[in-house]
Structure formats: C-alpha cells, structure tokens
Amino acid sequence: MVSTKESNEASEGYSQSTRPSSPPSYTDLFAKEHSEGLENAHNRNSAVILKVSKLDEAGKLSEVQWKYDEAERGSQGSPSHNAHGYGIVVTALFIIGEMVGGGIISMPNAMYRQGWAGIAILVILATLSGFTGVQLGKVWMMLQERWPEVYLKHTQKPYPEMGYRAGGVWVRRLVSLCMNLSLFGTATVFLIIISQNVNRLLHNWTGTNVSFCLFILIVGFILLPATYLGSPKDFWQVSFLAAGSTTIAVIIMLVGMSLTYKDTKGKVDYPAPTFVNLVLGYGTIIFAYSGQSAFPTIQHDMKRPDQFSKAIVGSYAVMFFYYIPICVFGYIVFGSKLGAKGVENVLQVLPEGWCQDTVTVLITLHVCFGFIIFINPINQEVESLFKIPSSFTWKRLVARTCVVAFVIFLAESIPAMSLLMDLIGGTALAALTFIFPGWFNLKLRWRTTTCVSKADTPIQKWEYPVTALIMLVGVLGCVASVYAFISTIADGDALFKKPCYVNGGVS
C-alpha cells in the first residue's frame, strides 16, 4: 500500500483516455506480478496493467484495471511482438487444415445417425464452436496484456496457462489433461484414417490384401521426421497444401455423389435415429468443429494475435460450406449404406474407380498435414514437462519419437476410427470447445469495470446466460458420450474392433 501522494504521482503517467472517472483518493496502487519497476515500461514492447482498489459510492472497495503505458504498440492497440509471424489468411488456412480432414469424410455418417435433425445440430454446434473460438482468442490477448513479460515471448502451453490464470494450478492440470487426451485421440484417429486409406489404395491398385494395422506402423514412422519441426510458423506451407487438397476433394466427392444419385434415387432407406446414435453423431460433429486445443498455439505465432477472431470467422465460414453439401447430399444419396457394417466414412461408399481413389489420395494428404499440426502441441507439452529447450537438440528427437510411438500404440489398441472419434469429440474436445473458453473469459474479466483493451472489457449481461447455455451443452454432451460409448461396446456394436495385437483389428 502506498500513500495518497505517491498514488497521485504515479497516476500522472496514466493516459487520460483510459483513466477511470473516480475520486482521486486511491488506497492501494501496485503493478500486478511485474518483476521490473514501472520506470522500465518504456523498455518493453508491452502494456503494463495496474490494479487499483478504490472506494465506490457505497463505501466498499472495488477493483478496476487500466493501462499504465503503451510502448511501441501496433496500429490497432495490440502488441506487435511477432514480426516474423503469419497473417490472417495463413492462420485461417491453418485452422482449416487442422480441422477439416477427419471431419469431411465422417459428417455424412453423423447425418445418418441423427437423421434430418443433424442439419440443425450441425448449424448450432458450428455457431457455438466459432463463438467460443473467438472467446479463446480474447482470453489469450488478456494474458499477453496483463503478463507481457511471460506471454509475449514463446509459450509452450498457452491453453493450460489460460486455465492457470483463470482458476489456478488445478485448472491448468485439468486443461492439460483434456488437451492431451484430445490431441492424442485426434492424432490417433488421423493415423488410423491414413493407414486405412493407404491400405484401400494398395488393394484397389494391386489387389494386395494387407492388414491396415501394419500400415499404422509404417505410416507412423514415415511421418515421424515431419514432427521434429518446431512450431506452426516453421511449417506454414502445410496449411496451403491441406486446404487446397480438401477443396479439390470436396468438389470430386460432390461430382461422385451426383453420378450415384441417379442409380440410388428411391432405393435408399433413412432409418429413424436412436438416442445412442444421436449422441455419437454429436461427438462426430464436435470432432469436426473442435480445434480449440490447438488454437492458442496457432494464435501465438501470428504477427497480429488480436486479429485471430477474423481468422476464426473466415475459416469457419469456409468449413461450413464444405460440410453442409457433403453432409446433406451424402445422406440423401447413400442413406442407410453409411451405417452398414465396416463402413466408417463416406470414402467407402463413393463410386469405385477414379472418384474414390482420387478423393482418398487427397484426403490422405490432408490428414497427413493435420497429423503434423495436431501432434505439435503434444510435443511442446512433453518438452515443457521435461524442460527440453525449444532449440533443435537430440532431446527433442527422443521426446518426439516417443510421442509418435505412443500414438502408434493407441492406434493399434483402438483401431475403430469412428468410435474413437465420437468418444474424443463428445468428452475432451467438448470440454475444450464449450466449457473452458467461456469460463476463462468471464473469470478473467470478472473485476474489469473499465475498458482496458478490446479483449478486456466489462462483462455484458447477455454473456452470462449465453455462456451458461454453451457450457451446459458441453457438460451434457460429455455425460451422454461416455454412456453411448459404453453402450456401444457392451452391445457388441459393429463400430467396435478389437486391438490389432489381438486379431488384427477385426471385430
């Protein structure tokens, strides 16, 4: 606590535009968690956030925050801390490359499970996911503004750090657990998809029948060298290749479905959805629209992190126009064929020949790129845990090789791609997508009574019910997904397959 005289002297350096209108007698003035003194503010590319306790009209202490200084800020008031980062377009392509691959081939199956209600569910969940993606971006901006000496430099675990600042150590551990489960699960699903596709292509082209379980090992170690790259900014070219391959694949799939429609019109069944299938379809849609576990890492490497919301809007709009036609038209053309035994994605029911093979090659390329993007946050988490330096060393090689080996083991243990996708999407990804972003956003802004920045603004009344509704969707989805997963295994559903090391993954 400092004297009134000292408080007034310190407040002389404050910007008039950000100073709250309040009585001049402040009881306590301090810089929040800054090791440097206030006189060093001009030497940092940051804004120092001060917390001031004051007496309100009722005589109670209330807390406000504002900026002490703005040194070398960007034109929009955001820290320009990453001159070598990528822009909005590349960020949007990264998001598309991360999320679309596994989802684009599984969404028709989700429609089969949910029936025509799946269209409404898809629109709602896509909107909510995009909204929480924007929330998450704002949370990261708040961390960079409040603790610039910590978060303006390279941060290996940005999402768990949000949990730490919002709820403490236990929340950081919970976020890390959910993030690692989702990332490991997604990387495993991608590895299974690649192996299945390579196996199918080999059979179509040469007639050779080899278990895809063998390809899990082969593909895993072929992709291993690409996982040694540092962070997303080191392989931004991947995003262009992933988005381009998916766009071409979507066009060819629609062409193939159009050619098939003439032969299947009036001959397709559309069974009524069951509760278990509705929930499993929910998990698939969440999987297709849940990239939040990797969003903070992507945003952190942007040239202008405050522009992340624009990348979210652009990427989600593109993905929506990918998913809707594939999802609806695939369901109309194939119907109950999507639920046949052994059919896990739409690739297996596309017209055989050039259409099926071309799409399979393009989706395989996309999923390979997605595997590299998704496994990167896992690698950074492991390196942070074992205090491995961010520079390229032999320790990185060992750590990342072990990560890939573990993903290979998971794929060999749970070779049922669609079932694993439903479980991961409905549990860990649902928490990361619907529960944590709103919680952290409101918690960090709880005591903000004056606008500190575009991200750190006072909470509006409408945000409470909207955030509560989104979090409820996540909680109910988690509970229902676990129930549906257990029921599917207990009933011996066609989706379940035994581990590869038991009988080659054949149920």
**Homologous superfamily of 88-503:** Amino acid/polyamine transporter I (1.20.1740.10)
All residues at 6 or more sequence positions from 468 whose CB lies less than 8 Å from its CB, including other chains = none
Helix and strand totals (H; E) in the chain: 18, 3
Please give the pLDDT value at position 82: 64
Distance in angstroms between the alpha carbons of the first and the last residue of the chain? 68
Edge-to-edge strands, sheet with 61-70: 28-31, 47-55, 61-70
Alpha carbon 463 to its chain's center: 22
Locate tokens 């917390």: which residue? 51
Whether residue 46 has pLDDT greater than 50: no
**Of 424, 443, 360, 373, nearest in space to 146 by CA:** 443
Model pLDDT for residues 73-115, shown as the tens digit of each residue: 333 344 445 666 788 888 888 888 777 766 788 888 888 888 8
pLDDT of the residue at 281: 81
Phi, psi of 404 (to 5 degrees): -60, -40
Residues of the chain with CATH 1.20.1740.10: 88-503
pLDDT at 463 (0 to 100): 92
Q: The tokens of 234 are what?
A: 């080191």
Report which of 449, 441, 453 is spatially closest to residue 73, judged by C-alpha positions.
453
pLDDT for the residue numbered 231: 63
Buried b (16+ CB within 10 A) or exposed e, 221-253: eebbebbebbbbbebbebbebbbebbbbbbebb
Using the structure block, give the residue that is written with the tokens 């309100």: 56
Q: What pLDDT does residue 439 have?
A: 94
Per the CB < 8 A criterion, the answer to whether 345 and 330 are in contact is no
The neighbour count for residue 57, using CB atoms within 10 Å, is: 8
DSSP per residue, 131-198: HHHHHHHHHHHHHHHHSHHHHSS--S-HHHHHHHHHH-HHHHHHHHHHHHHHHHHHHHHHHHHHHHHH
**Phi, psi of 50, deg, nearest 5:** -105, 150
Q: How far apart are CA 488 and CA 209, in angstroms?
A: 28
Average pLDDT score, the chain: 76
d(CA 114, CA 119): 9
CB 72 within 8 A of CB 289: no
Give residue-wise pLDDT tens across range 420-458: 767 777 788 889 999 999 999 999 988 777 777 777 888
Q: Which of 157, 214, 208 is nearest to 191 (CA)?
A: 214
Helix pair 394-413, 354-385: axis angle to 10 deg: 130
Q: Is the pLDDT of residue 131 over 90?
A: yes
Q: What are phi and psi of 330, to 5 degrees?
A: -60, -40
Judge whether residue 36 has pLDDT over 50: no
Residue 191: helix, strand or coil by DSSP?
Answer: helix
Q: Which residues lie across from 29 on neighbouring strands?
A: 52
Tell me the average pLDDT across 390-418: 84
pLDDT grade for 52, boundaries at 50, 70 and 90: very low
Q: How confident is the model over 332-360, as a mean pLDDT?
A: 85
Distance (Å, whole) CA 378 – CA 180: 6
Query: pLDDT at residue 47 above 60?
Result: no
The residue ranking higher by pLDDT, 72 or 95, is 95
Instruction: Please check whether residue 138 is in contact with residue 126, taking contact to mean a CB–CB distance below 8 angstroms.
Output: no
Identify any residues that bridge with 30 across adjacent strands, giving them in sequence order.
51
In this predicted structure, which of 363-372, 412-421, 478-487 has the lowest mean pLDDT? 412-421
57-61, 85-89, 185-189, 235-239: which range is least confident on average?
A: 57-61
Identity of the amino acid at 102: G
Residue 358's pLDDT band, with cuts at 50, 70 and 90, is very high
